[in-house]
């Protein structure tokens, strides 16, 4: 009779501290970290494997992509069907805003690099700059909308302008969420610097932020194309 297969747990990712195997009745669970209870604390609950947070943010980004894909397809269809499409000329400030957003991605990476070298002050300062650039981007988007309004182009002026406002606003809302996440990192900076495990919060926020950056570039190109 073949022995039943016991699949061993996956090895822990590098950089994650794994304690030596404890007593036999320790929680073996997710596979990483967390020495088992000594009986008096109750059953152990090992920390969530760090990879799980990464999986979660990528899944969330897949759903956000799907939203913008749906809006893109609606836009393309609307542009093609009625012959009343008017292309909205891109307010020049949008190019400046794009540079601001790309810079914010760079500063966020510098912040992460500082954190990896355990340079707490630099980590915080590059983080503040990232947030400032993010807010500057949103302010710039607002200026772009006012510029359009000054030209008499509002959300209901023509279908092209409707989608211009919609796509930029949808992106801005998601970016605002990213700014709130960055503010959370600032709020928790002391724990993040002290406890290596908590740095995953910075990693997933960075993945989200860079994605928002890439999404913006995609939207800019889409809005520039004369449909």
Residue 178 binding other proteins, by CB under 8 A: no
CA angle 99, 105, 107 (to 5 degrees): 100
Nearest residue to 185 via CA among 201, 196, 171: 201
- Binding status of residue 118 toward other proteins by CB under 8 A: no
Smallest separation, CB 26 to other proteins (Å) = 6
Query: Does residue number 49 form part of the binding site for other proteins (CB under 8 A)?
Result: yes
161 contacts: CB under 8 Å, gap ≥ 6:
86, 88, 148, 153, 154, 155
> What is d(CA 185, CA 164) in angstroms, rounded to the nearest whole number?
32
Interface with other proteins, residue 172, by CB under 8 A: no
Of 30-38, 88-96, 144-152, 183-191, which segment contacts other proteins by CB under 8 A? 30-38
Query: CA 180, CA 14: separation in Å to the nearest integer?
Result: 29
Residue 179, judged by CB atoms within 10 A of its CB (0-12, 13-18, 19+), counts as: buried
Is 44 a binding residue for other proteins by CB under 8 A? The answer is yes
Q: Count residues contacting other proteins (CB under 8 A)?
A: 60
Residue 222, SS3 per DSSP:
helix
Q: Is 214 in the site for other proteins (CB under 8 A)?
A: no
The answer to the question of residue 181 lying near other proteins (CB under 8 A) is: no
Return the axis-axis angle of helices 200-224 and 93-116, rounded to nearest 10°.
160
Output the smallest distance, CB 203 to other proteins, in A.
Answer: 15
| CB closer to other proteins out of 56 and 99 | 56
Question: What residues make contact with other proteins under the rule CB under 8 A?
Answer: 1-9, 17, 19, 25-31, 33-37, 41-49, 51-52, 55-56, 59-60, 62-64, 66-67, 70-71, 74, 77-78, 81-84, 155-156, 159, 162, 166, 170, 196-197
């Amino acid at each position: 009779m073949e022995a039943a297969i016991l699949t061993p747990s996956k090895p822990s990712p590098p950089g994650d501290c794994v304690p030596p195997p404890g007593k036999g009745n320790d929680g073996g669970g997710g596979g990483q970290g967390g020495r088992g209870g000594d009986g008096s604390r109750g059953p152990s609950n090992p920390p969530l494997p760090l990879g799980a947070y990464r999986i979660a943010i990528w899944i969330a980004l897949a759903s956000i992509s799907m939203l913008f894909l749906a809006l893109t397809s609606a836009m393309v269809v609307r542009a093609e069907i009625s012959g009343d499409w008017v292309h909205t000329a891109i307010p020049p400030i949008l190019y400046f805003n794009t540079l601001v957003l790309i810079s914010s991605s760079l500063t966020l990476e510098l912040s992460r690099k500082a954190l990896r070298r355990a340079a707490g002050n630099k980590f915080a300062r590059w983080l503040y700059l990232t947030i400032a650039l993010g807010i500057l981007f949103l302010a710039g988007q607002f200026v772009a909308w006012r510029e359009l309004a000054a030209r008499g182009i509002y959300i209901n002026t023509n279908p092209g302008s409707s989608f211009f406002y919609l796509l930029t606003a949808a992106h801005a809302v998601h970016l605002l969420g990213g700014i709130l996440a960055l503010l959370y990192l600032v709020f928790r900076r002391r724990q993040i610097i002290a406890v290596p495990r908590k740095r995953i919060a910075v990693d997933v926020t960075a993945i989200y932020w860079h994605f928002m950056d890439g999404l913006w570039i995609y939207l800019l190109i889409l809005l520039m194309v004369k449909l």
